[in-house]
Amino acid sequence: MTEQTGDRPEGRPERPLPARLPGEVEPTRSAERFTAPRQMRAIGGLTSERAARIVRQSGDARWVAFLGMVIVALFVIVYYFYELGVPIINTTPRLQAEGNLQQVTAIERGYNLYQANCARCHGVNGQGAVGPILNDQSKLFSHLSEQYLKNVLTVGGRYVCGNPKSLMPVWADTNGGPLNYLQIADIIAFIRAPSTQEYARRTPTFNEPILGADGKVITFKGWRDPDFKPDPSASPVPDCYLGNAATSAPPASIPPNVTILDLGMAGVLEYDKHALEVTAGQPFAIRFNNSDSGQTHDVDIRQTDGTTVVQDQPTVQGPGEATYLYAALPAGTYDFICSVHPIPNMTGTLTVK
Ligand code: HEC
Ligand SMILES: [Cu+2]
């Protein structure tokens, strides 16, 4: 403290500067201006209470500074973990949480885009119809990668099997399609969304959650099971969903006593017959004339649920013909169906009796 006390003995200047000539009188007024009047000061320097108070005050001030430092240090540590996640209890880092949130938004938008543009051919749940199945786990595992989906949506259905007459149009606007790159990204996010999470259905225009009759938000789930691992012995999904389809199925050698039924096409994507009848316990054959130019079809036999495969046949590219030989079946009703286009037009009832 540079408190100027006026009580110091004369002739012992406290401040050496400014230097004064010997005999010069110290200017008292300017010093007086900054000091309390003489009678206010304690005689003989600080009183013991005052000294104690000063010590206490400076101690307090140090405490305040120390606590301030502690608060800043704690904040830095807490923020560090908030930003990067706490390692042991495995919290989600903030940036990743933000990313997840954006991903959810993309998936929810992608759902609407898929239903509006793709569901009519690939099914509401990607189960396949005119277009091939998409929600198949082994397909989603690696075949339907982000890059592949992007390529298919940019080039169109011809990218899949090189069929220039593919029913699937180009989607990306970079190639003349109707969807911009964000919409493409959203659809891809939806197709690859995990089945472990629920997402809200939202109105396409205002992105508001859609409420069901019970007042709760209607939700949907992704298709892809994140834990799915393909059976190591399973053959990988072929690049072209038709498999290594021959342009014409190898002529099966038909034993002479086998009944041969005829099946043809009524037009594009439609069998000319929707009912066939064979004898139980006897092999039979179907001579399939695929006159549907540019389209690939086959005639598989499935249970009447339309999905459980009983007998599988190779596809034949139109125009082309194949004679399929089927093993004997027990009496009952089955579906004969095109595995490429499992739609009502390419399904019929096979009665075995
Ligand atoms: C008019 C019917 C149609 C529509 C609409 C359609 N697709 Fe397709 N899609 C097909 C067909 C048919 C194929 C098979 C390609 C071929 O012709 O060989 C296909 C193939 C695909 C494939 C490749 C599948 C595989 O196993 O490799 C993907 C992925 C796909 N479509 C996604 C979409 C998406 C996403 C949309 C909506 C933006 C969509 N499709 C709309 C008919 C359609
Ligand atoms: Cu078909």
Q: Whose CA is nearest to atom 33 of ligand 1?
A: 118
- Residues near ligand 2 ion, CB 5 Å cutoff: 297, 338, 340-341, 346
The number of the ligand nearest the C-alpha atom of 178 reads 1
| Sequential DSSP letters for 314-341 | --EESSEEEEEEE----SEEEEEE-SS-
Asked whether 238 and 245 are in contact (CB, 8 A), the reply is no
Candidate of 107, 117, 122, 293 to mutate for ligand 1, largest count of ligand atoms within 8 Å of Cβ? 122
Alpha-carbon span 55 to 48, nearest angstrom:
11
Spatial CA neighbour of 89 closest among 81, 79, 78, 100: 81
Q: Where are the alpha helices (DSSP H) in the chain?
A: 28-33, 48-84, 94-117, 119-122, 137-138, 146-155, 158-161, 181-191
Asked whether 310 and 337 are in contact (CB, 8 A), the reply is no
- Residues 170-186: tens digit of each pLDDT: 999 999 999 999 999 99
What was the pLDDT predicted at 265?
Answer: 94
DSSP 35: S
Could you state, in order of their start, the residue ranges of all structural domains in the chain?
42-91, 95-221, 259-352
CB of 184 within 6 A of ligand 1: the answer is no
What was the pLDDT predicted at 247?
Answer: 47
The kind and range of the H/E element at 268 are none
| Sequential DSSP letters for 200-213 | E-B-TTT-PBPB-T
Rounded to the nearest whole angstrom, what is the distance from the C-alpha of residue 41 to the centroid of ligand 1? 96
Cα distances (angstroms) measured from residue 107 to each of 124, 127, 149, 199, 282:
15, 18, 15, 8, 51
Identity of residue 275: A
Q: Which CATH class is domain 95-221?
A: mainly alpha
Its pTM stands at 0.66
| pLDDT, mean of each 10-residue run, the chain (353 residues) | 50 62 64 60 71 90 96 95 82 86 94 95 90 91 93 92 87 94 96 94 91 92 93 82 55 77 91 94 92 88 87 87 90 92 91 93
What was the pLDDT predicted at 220?
Answer: 95
Alpha-carbon span 189 to 106, nearest angstrom:
6
Write the burial class of residue 50 (CB in 10 Å: 0-12 exposed, 13-18 middle, 19+ buried). exposed
Rounded to the nearest whole angstrom, what is the distance from the C-alpha of residue 337 to the centroid of ligand 2? 8
Architecture of domain 259-352: Sandwich (2.60)
What was the pLDDT predicted at 50?
Answer: 84
CB of 149 within 6 A of ligand 1: the answer is yes
**CB neighbours of residue 43 within 10 Å:** 8
Rounded to the nearest whole angstrom, what is the distance from the C-alpha of residue 236 to the centroid of ligand 1? 20
Handedness of CA 309, 310, 316, 318 (dihedral sign): negative
Candidate of 160, 165, 186, 241 to mutate for ligand 1, largest count of ligand atoms within 8 Å of Cβ? 160
CA atoms within 13 A on the CB side of 248: 13
Alpha-carbon span 144 to 333, nearest angstrom:
35
Candidate of 117, 150, 154, 168 to mutate for ligand 1, largest count of ligand atoms within 8 Å of Cβ? 168
What was the pLDDT predicted at 177?
Answer: 93
CB of 152 within 6 A of ligand 1: the answer is yes
Rounded to the nearest whole angstrom, what is the distance from the C-alpha of residue 172 to the centroid of ligand 1? 13
Rounded to the nearest whole angstrom, what is the distance from the C-alpha of residue 85 to the centroid of ligand 1? 41
259-352: same fold as 95-221? no
Asked whether 278 and 329 are in contact (CB, 8 A), the reply is yes
CB of 323 within 6 A of ligand 1: the answer is no
What was the pLDDT predicted at 32?
Answer: 52
